[in-house]
Every structure is written in structure tokens, then in C-alpha cells.
Amino acid sequence: MPARRRCYNPVMITEIGHFALVLALCVALLQAVLPLYGAARGDGPLIAWARPAALAQFLFVAIAFVALMHAYAVSDFSLANVAANSNSTKPLLYKLTGVWSNHEGSMLLWVFILTLFGAAVALFGRNLPPTLRARVLAVQAMIGVGFLVFILFTSNPFLRLWPAPADGMGLNPILRDPGLAFHPPCLYLGYVGFSITFCFAVAALIEGRVDPAWARWVRPWTLAAWCALTTGIAMGSWWAYYTLGWGGWWFWDPVENASFMPWLVGTALLHSAVVVEKREALKTWTILLAIIAFSLSLIGTFLVRSGVLTSVHAFANDPMRGVFILLLICLYTGGALLLFAWRAPQLAGGGLFAPISREGGLLFNNLLLTTAAATVLIGTLYPLFLDIIAHQKVSVGPPFYDMTFVPIMVPLLIAMAVGPMLPWKRGDLYAALSRLKVAFVVTAAAALVTLAATGAHSIGAACGLALAAWLFAATMTELAERVRLAADPRGALRRALHLPRATWGMILAHGGMAVVIAGITGSNAWTQERIVDARPGDKIELAGYTVALDAVNQVSGPDYTATRADMRLLRNDREIAQLHPEKRFFPVENGNATGVAIRTNLLADVYAVIGDPDGKGGYTLRLYWNPLVPWIWLGAAAMALGGIVSLTDRRHRVGAPARRRREIAAATVQAAE
């Protein structure tokens, strides 16, 4: 029945997607101009235009995104993008995630998330003053216009290839992992989420007013972006750990740095917004942070896309695109900073505070976090800039970061423990420290036990663990005091359940940070590595375990063949686990990927990689014992969870304050009756 077949036409769906993207650009153009003009003129209908426009823009980009996903799902190789990045033999999961495995598709994902946030503001921002909401959405649409033009003119995923090839070239083997389904979208949710705080900042500069209400509206968006970015970075690091097979989890690669810088500034922003909300201080600083956080996200995009720096991540090196993104950065960051220079001096200053106070502590945190971000930025761009200024040749690697990052983080972590103990306006450092007696004891004990257990040469590790113990103990002290654990242990649980969610968020996030620090310290200090040439039947000793290599086989997966080792992990001759590391070969892509075998007991990982055959029946095996490494991700998960819990706090729930007030009013009326 040819008539029925016409109803479903894959080629048509792609064309609809392409057309929807053009429509999205048209809507974005109107959304960028009309509400802004309306807000300046006090024109109600034009102001009201922003919300439906944001929803329509989201809808059109969503159609385009789904259409591209569809083209990947049905392997429509007449699309150049699909032909270059997919293959008919791929499992469906990797066909779908292949959408953002490449430059064009990932830029479409970027814009999709941008418009998703815009639609969220339109839907959930009902309690925002209409002019502020109109301006926020207009600024967001300006970003949308820039990136939609970028996609349509330099990186269009809907371009056709004629004649269509019989099959696609496949997906980079390193990306062929379930991690691809989560890591890039999470990271983009974080990157692009900061666009909302950026828009709020620019809108506030246009309005010329920053007040506690503004900070209250901005905080949930900052929190949401921060949670996503934390999760995204942690996932990326975990992914690198288990797929690259290098045993490491962070490499100070320019692209890793690109995601870490917005995180540092976003963390600072999260804390300074509290000061604006509670005390009306640090207003202009908070605005500046909001601009910088998103600008660093843009610079991150630029670094990944332009190939200006050498990195393993830079898969789309095209100077033309680099110039275009740089132009967009100049437009948005430059424009926002010019607006800042012009309008920020007129913002009224806020409450005064003593250096030793909650505000003082948060300011200290901000200074250190931004210094850390600046350090990473300098480290990332140093080779480029020193060459320009002095024609000198340098290299920047972990030695630079070890030297500069540790001295910044140590005071930050020490202060992080004390900060929450200080009251607003004016605090008493001695009183706060005297509440931390238990924490002092725990810290000293952690340092001494570490030194006693591992010898005097691990002083650095002892300091690291002591720092982690200090932060953890102080955070728990704070929790214990809040629920009055010592005075009334029985009622403590009930009080714990009634603590504000934001407090729980803080405790989870700070406690999680302590766990991360312990994990980093353990991994830096005590990792053991064995590299051996082994034959089936050999046994290798590793950190009190024995790894028995029983056999090496050739196996085949859905789209690869693999050399697979059968190993047993033994402790005192008792089998604990089986390990099956693989070295996979992908014939379509003519590339290899490592399948690492990891056995964790949450205290340490045993990590096994199989390498090349030596031609004499043996294989190169790399075995690592990575103590405390799982804590890095456990801690990061606790931090992200803290952010989510805090996000559900009553104050951040949309319309919640109003509802609560009504309930109280109703209760009072009832009581009066």
C-alpha cells in the first residue's frame, strides 16, 4: 500500500527537523527584541510575549533534536552527520548517544538544553515580576540566536550527503560506553544552566535593581546548574578512570579544566548569593560572578571546539568555528561586562559586616574559589599567552597545579569547617573554634594514625587526611549542635527531620567534600601499580592480593572482537572475585578501546587492564591497587545530592512562601474562632 507508506517517511522527518530549527531561530529573534522593548516601555502585551515565545522556541528545537535522534535511530546515512558518526551495526543505545558524540550534534544538544532552561523559566517563573522575567527570557533568546546561527551556518547536522553511503563510518571506540549517555548531557545541563544566572544578572543590570528577592529567584537556578555540573564532572572523571585504562581519574587536561573553572566560580556564586539574600551585601560581586560563571562555560565550549589548545578531547578542530564562537563570547561576555561597568556602580550597597562573621567567611570562600578558578585559567592558557608576551616556551602540567592548587585549597578547607559556625554580621572566632574541640581531637588523631600506619615519609598524606577529618568532624559537629544531640539525644532524630532542607544540603555537600579530599589524598599517596608480562597460569602479587591469570580468550561483542582475560582475585588463597579485562577491537572504526576490570570494596579498587601480546604467549598486564579512590565519586555524589536536597527547600519551591503564609493565616483564623 504505497499510500500508507507515505505517512511515515524518514527523509521527511529530517526535513521537518531542519525546518523547525530555522523556525526556532525566527522565534528567538523576536523573543530577543520584543519583550526587552516592551519592558522598557511598560507595554504589557509585548512583555507577555516572552513566555509563549520561550515555550515555542523550546518546542521547535526539541522537534529538531528528536528528528536528528530519529535519523540516527533509523541509520539515515544520507545525512552527512549520521554517516560520519554512526554505523548500522551499532547497538541502539550507541546509535542514539551518537547524536552528541560529534561537534554538530553536541551543539544541537547545547541549544536544546538552553531552550529547555528558557522554557523552565517561562513555566516555573510565575512568581517573578513580569518585567524581570521578560528581560531574562529576552537575554536568553539572544544567546539562543547566536548559537542557532552558529549551528545553521557552520555546524549544521542536517546537511545531506549525496549519494548516500551504504554504511556509516562508526563511532569513536572510546566513546562507545554507557557513560556517553549521561556525561555530556549532565555536563551541558551544568554549563548551560549557568546561562540562566547570567540572564538574571544581565536583566538585573538593565533593571538597575538587585535585592534579596532577586537573589532568592536566582539561587534555585544556580543550585540546579551546580548539581548537574558536579554530577557531570564526577561522571566524566569516573568514565576516564574506567574506560581510558590509565588508572588515573583527573589529568588537568584543558578540557577537564574547562569544566572545572565554571564549577569553581559556580560554587562561589552559590555562596555569595546567600549573602545577597540574607544580608543584601556583595551585590555587584554576585552579579559579576554570575557573568563569569557562564562566560567560563562559553570559553570551555570554545576551547573544546576550536582546537586552540592541544587536548585529547578536541575532536572538532576547525579554526572557522573557533572564530565564530570567539565572536559569540565577545558579544555575550564583553557585552555583559560593559553593561556591568556602566550600571553596577549605581547599585546601592548593602549591609556592613565585620571581617569575622558569616559574611566574612563566605567572602573568604569566594576569594579563594575565584583565585582557584583564575589559577586553572592561567594554567590552561599560559602556554599560549607566554608565547605571545615573551616568546618564551613553557609547559604546564600537573607539577604546576600541584604547586598552586594545594596552597589555595588548604585554607579554603580549613575555613570551610569554621564558616558555618559563625553568626551573621559579627562573629567570635574564639567561640566558634571552642565549639570545634572534638574536631581538633579527631583531626590530630587522623594525622597520627596515618603517620603511625604508613611511616613518616607520608607526611603529605597525613596532612591531607587530617584536613579531610577536620572538615568532616566540624560538619558533623554543626549537625550535632543543630539537633542538640548532646543535650537531648532522644529528640535529636525528630529535630534532624525538621531541620531546613538547605541545612541538610550544606551538611551533605561539605561532608561530601571531606570524603572527596580523603579519596584524592589516598589515591595520590598509596596507589600501587604492577606492570608485568604474564602468561596464563601466572600469579601476580598486588597489595596483599594475588591476581591469577587463568586464560586469555578471543571473544566477540555486538560490534567488536576482544582479547579477554580470565583472572581470579585471591586473598589468602581464597577467591574474592573474577576479573575480566578486555582489549576491544572495532573493525568498522579500525580502532581499539580498553575494557577495564574493576573490583571495589568501597575502600579500595583493584583495577586490571590487559595490553598487547608479547608474541611469545604472554600479555602485558597492568594491575593497580587504588586505595580510597571510590570515595572521590561517593563524595561527589553526596555533594550533588546535597545540592538537590537544598533545591527542595521550602524557600526555593515555587510559590511555597505564599502558600505557607496562607496556611498560617487560615490557622490563625481557625484558632480565633
Partner 1 sequence: MIWRRWSFALPVVIFAGLAAGLYYGLQNDNESLPSALIDQPAPTFQLASLPGHEPGFSSADLAGHVSLVNTFASWCTPCRAEHPVLQALAATKRVPIYGIDYKDKEDAAVAWIAALGNPYTRIGADDGRVGIDWGVYGVPETFIVDRQGRIRYKHVGPLTQADLERKILPLVAKLQK
Q: Could you tell me the smallest distance in angstroms from the CB atom of residue 364 to partner 1? A: 20
Q: Could you tell me the smallest distance in angstroms from the CB atom of residue 174 to partner 1? A: 10
Quote the CA–CA distance of 206 and 23 in Å, as a whole number.
Answer: 28
306 touches partner 1 by CB under 8 A: yes
380 touches partner 1 by CB under 8 A: no
Q: Could you tell me the smallest distance in angstroms from the CB atom of residue 268 to partner 1? A: 15
Copy the grid coordinates of residue 203. Answer: 536583566
Chosen residue from 622, 634, 638, 642 binding partner 1 by CB under 8 A: 622
Q: Could you tell me the smallest distance in angstroms from the CB atom of residue 398 to partner 1? A: 5
Q: Are strands 604-613 and 591-595 parallel, antiparallel or unpaired?
A: unpaired
308 touches partner 1 by CB under 8 A: yes
Q: Could you tell me the smallest distance in angstroms from the CB atom of residue 385 to partner 1? A: 5
Quick check: helix, strand or coil at residue 442? Answer: helix
344 touches partner 1 by CB under 8 A: yes
CB 139 within 8 A of CB 202: yes
Interface segment toward partner 1; rule CB under 8 A; list 130-138, 350-358, 381-389, 503-511: 381-389
Q: What number of chain residues touch partner 1 (CB under 8 A)?
A: 50
Question: What would the DSSP string read from start to end of 138-201?
Answer: HHHHHHHHHHHHHHHHH--TT-B-SSPPSS-----GGG-STHHHHHHHHHHHHHHHHHHHHHHH
Question: What would the DSSP string read from start to end of 267-323?
Answer: HHHHHHHHHHHHH--SHHHHHHHHHHHHHHHHHHHHHHHH--S--TT-----HHHHH
Interface segment toward partner 1; rule CB under 8 A; list 70-78, 305-313, 365-373, 560-568: 305-313
Q: Could you tell me the smallest distance in angstroms from the CB atom of residue 534 to partner 1? A: 13
Of residues 147, 172, 181, 186, the one with CA closest to residue 301: 147
Q: Which is nearer to partner 1, 65 or 332 (CB)?
A: 332
Interface segment toward partner 1; rule CB under 8 A; list 116-124, 226-234, 284-292, 499-507: 284-292
Neighbours of 415 (CB within 10 A): 17
| Displacement of CA 16 from its chain's centroid (Å) | 32
Q: Are strands 619-627 and 528-534 parallel, antiparallel or unpaired?
A: antiparallel
Residues 6+ apart with CB under 8 A from 290: 194, 197, 198, 200, 201, 218, 222, 269
CB 656 within 8 A of CB 233: no
CB 361 within 8 A of CB 281: no
Q: Which is nearer to partner 1, 399 or 500 (CB)?
A: 399
340 touches partner 1 by CB under 8 A: yes
Interface segment toward partner 1; rule CB under 8 A; list 11-19, 44-52, 376-384, 664-672: 376-384
Chosen residue from 531, 658, 664, 666 binding partner 1 by CB under 8 A: 531
Interface segment toward partner 1; rule CB under 8 A; list 26-34, 87-95, 325-333, 659-667: 325-333
Chosen residue from 251, 315, 424, 526 binding partner 1 by CB under 8 A: 251
Strand (E) positions, 335-464?
A: none
Interface segment toward partner 1; rule CB under 8 A; list 69-77, 209-217, 271-279, 300-308: 300-308
293 touches partner 1 by CB under 8 A: no
298 touches partner 1 by CB under 8 A: no
In DSSP terms, 528 is beta-bridged to 625
620 touches partner 1 by CB under 8 A: yes
- Which ranges constitute the DSSP H helices of 483-538? 489-498, 501-526
Residues that bind partner 1 (CB under 8 A): 246, 251, 253, 284, 288, 291-292, 295, 299, 302, 306-312, 319, 322-323, 326, 329-330, 333-334, 337-338, 340-341, 344-345, 381, 383-385, 387-388, 393-399, 529, 531, 611-612, 620, 622
